[in-house]
Structure 1
């Protein structure tokens, strides 16, 4: 499994944001359509009905966000050492982003957790948006693009590729 831009690719499965588990919300891209997963948003939007895919609330990596993540980690460690974990203590959930799905019957706003702790690089966020737009250009384009992403995921071994390779993959998939 690997993170490429705003996509989580686990073997042949492609998700926008992190792959959800249990009742967590997420969005999966399949050859049939956009699948809404998790509590309160289950459903399938067929590609033939999808007119546009957009992203909002995408956490973009910045120095401020990185410093905040380090501060939160340090504070969390101090709190964990000083206070025993009790029933009221819980970790903060990862950031959520909104995946807009425009279909023949209106706009649907789905949510997905982001997988990047300190946000996505601006270039990767831009390439990811372009890739989502490309998926709505027609059945042949969608099928070819999703097949390339899935094929890469099945062949890839290890964690997420380095920045330059992630950006190259996104550019290749955008065409």
Structure 2
């Protein structure tokens, strides 16, 4: 499994944001359509009905966010050593993205957890949003693009690539 832009690709499955577990919120891009996962948002939007697809509430990768992630990790270690009986601190849940699915019936908001703890680089956000828009251009475009992403995920076993490779992959899937 690997993260490329706003996408989490695990074997042949493509998610926007993090891959959910259990009843957690998530969004999967499947051959049939956009699938809302988790409590309260289990729904399928068929590709033929999807007019637009975008993401809001995307945390941007900044130096302050990176410092905050390191600081939080250090506090968690100290907290576990000093006060293990109190359990997780309040607010430990990761932030969520909002995936907006536009159909002829209106706009539908789905939630997904953020996969990048320190936020997403602006260049990857822009490429990811363009790729999501491309998926709504028609069945042939969606099928080939989503198939290329899933195929890459099936052959990738060694984790998330470096930033330059992620950007190159996003650009390749856009072309």
2 CA distance for matches of 1:26 and 1:62?
24
Q: How many residues align?
A: 175
Shift of 1:87: 5.6
TM-score (norm 1): 0.96
Give 1:112 deviation, angstroms: 0.2
CA distance in 2, matches of 1:123, 1:21: 28
Give the C-alpha shift of residue 169 in structure 1: 0.3
Counterpart for residue 152 of structure 1: 152
Alpha-carbon deviation of 1:84? 2.5
Q: Equivalents in 2 of 1:14, 1:88: separation in Å?
A: 30
| CA distance in structure 1 between the aligned counterparts of 2:5 and 2:76, rounded to whole angstroms | 28
Task: Report the CA distance between 1:162 and its aligned residue.
Answer: 1.1
1:100-119 equivalences under 5 Å are 100-119=100-119
Deviation at 1:88, TM superposition (A): 7.1
Q: Provide the residue aligned with 2:171 in structure 1.
A: 171
> Please, which moves more after superposition, 155-164 or 19-28?
155-164
Is structure 2 residue 76 aligned with structure 1 residue 76?
Answer: yes
How far the C-alpha of 1:85 sits from its partner, in A, is 2.4
Which whole-Å CA distance do the structure 2 matches of 1:16 and 1:89 have between them? 26
1:142 matched residue in structure 2:
142
Q: Which residue of the partner structure matches residue 43 of structure 1?
A: 43
CA RMSD between the two structures: 1.3
Distance in 2, Cα, partners of 1:48 & 1:25: 23
Q: Give 5+ residue unaligned stretches, structure 1.
A: none
